[in-house]
Amino acid sequence: MDVVVCVKQVPDTEQPIRVRADGSGIDEQGLNWILNYYDEHAVEEALRVRERHGGTVTVVCVGPPRATEALRTALAMGADEAVHVWDPALEGADHLGVSRVLAEVVRRMPHDLVLCGRLATDDNASVVGAALAEYLGLAQATAIAKLEIGDGVATVEREVEGGVEVLRVPLPAVFTVERTINEPRYPTLPGIMKAKRKEIRTLSLQDLGLDPAQVGAAAARVRYARFDPPPRREAGRVVTPESPEEGARLIAQFLQDTAKVL
């Protein structure tokens, strides 16, 4: 069972995120970059599939040179190989452009199963997994919370409103995973040391035979006009009503006049 996991490097949400003064993006100075949380769960699930069925786990990332650190994290967890794709023309590429690049990488390697995180915590778009399946022409299921591999078929569970949806999907297929699917393992010290010595294969758009005009920033259908930080949260108000009825009236008045949710 050859599993490919597509991962992304994102800013650490445990840190304050600052917007540049001109609103053109986030201030990366001193920012800590990590493997996307949801992608950690995708890597973990791939490792569990390998432990049960044998095979290999390959992680793929499209991103600037620093993105190799996210690949090192996946290798330290136990992935077998890593592929890093970068080209200056990809600076500013949108989700569809990245998906086309990932599809070309996956197409060139053995793949019985392709896993992605449900979303990336930097933009919450949830686009790449579904677009990747479309470009590869594979069946897909999104936001899965359980995965079982059978003979040429995967049985997955999706948490939906009011219950659980069970799907049987022919392999190869693309799945995006929820964080509830597992608990990622911590990289061991030997794993970390081994990951530092492993070679990460680097590919450019030319290596993949892709035209920058079709997948790069020039082809992007989505462009960010401006970034603005969220408004400062106002201090809460404390009221001391003389009766429960008075308290209910004050809360209702606040929700109607100030919060404007009624």
Q: What single-letter DSSP state applies at residue 262?
A: -
Per-residue pLDDT of the chain (262 residues; tens, 9 = 90+): 999 999 999 999 888 888 888 888 888 888 899 999 999 999 999 999 999 999 999 999 999 999 999 999 999 999 999 999 999 999 989 999 999 999 999 999 999 999 999 999 999 999 999 999 999 999 999 999 999 999 999 999 999 888 999 999 999 999 999 999 999 999 999 999 999 999 999 999 999 999 999 999 888 888 888 888 888 887 777 888 889 999 899 889 888 888 777 7
What pLDDT shows up at residue 262?
74
Which DSSP helix (H) or strand (E) runs through 202? strand 201-203
Quote the radius of gyration of the chain (alpha carbons, Å). Answer: 22
Q: Specify the pTM.
A: 0.87
Residue 172, preceding peptide bond in cis (omega within 30° of 0): yes
How many residues make up the chain in this entry? Answer: 262
8 A C-beta contact, residue 39 and residue 71: no
